[in-house]
């Protein structure tokens, strides 16, 4: 499935941030942003603020699709998102959600909130938390059929093999 830049890349960054958890150091954050966001430095206190934001992002991934609208609206409100159209660097007109001179925390908040807003509007069932018991990994479903329930094929296989073995014992 093809997403627009906010619904796809931004939502995938949101899931990556969630999956980092408390391991959100400046270096790991820069690795996540590389080639996806123009953020070149993150300070320790900014990394802590982004980690706290990722906990709020997790609530959206964990929520039922009908509850996500209110949660994402709260994220948009708290990110001080102010959408505008930009044409920088010779690119076609596209949306930005925060001033380009804003710091990393404001940019991550606005980008991920905007991405989740697009995803909730365009494909509310295409993201969540892995369905395998004991796995709490967030994912964004970019598969063609949009029926993903697990973070990886490994988790899906574990569940399917366990289900098969259970059926065989009956």
Picking from 57, 73, 52, 65, the residue whose alpha carbon sits closest to that of residue 112 is 57
- Looking at domain 6-169, what is its CATH homologous superfamily? Jann2411-like domain (1.10.3300.10)
104-140 core/surface letters (b: 16 or more CB in 10 A; e: else) = bbbbbbbbbbbbbbbbbeebeebbbbbebeeeebbbb
Q: What is the pTM of this model?
A: 0.84
What pLDDT score does 51 carry?
96
Predicted confidence (pLDDT) per residue in 36-75, tens digit: 888 999 999 999 999 999 999 999 999 998 999 999 999 9
What pLDDT score does 7 carry?
63
């Amino acid at each position: 499935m093809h997403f627009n830049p906010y619904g796809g890349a931004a939502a995938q960054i949101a899931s990556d941030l969630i999956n980092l958890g408390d391991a959100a150091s400046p270096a790991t954050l820069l690795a996540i942003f590389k080639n996806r966001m123009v953020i070149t430095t993150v300070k320790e206190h900014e990394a802590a603020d982004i980690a706290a934001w990722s906990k709020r992002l997790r609530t959206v991934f964990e929520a039922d699709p009908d509850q996500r609208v209110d949660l994402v609206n709260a994220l948009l409100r708290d990110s001080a998102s102010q959408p505008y159209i930009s044409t920088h660097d010779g690119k076609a007109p596209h949306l930005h959600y925060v001033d380009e001179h804003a710091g990393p925390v404001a940019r991550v908040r606005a980008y991920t909130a905007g991405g989740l807003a697009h995803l909730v509007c365009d494909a509310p069932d295409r993201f969540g938390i892995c369905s395998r018991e004991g796995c709490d990994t967030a994912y964004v479903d970019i598969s063609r059929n949009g029926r993903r329930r697990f973070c990886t094929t490994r988790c899906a296989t574990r569940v399917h093999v366990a289900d098969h073995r259970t059926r065989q014992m009956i």
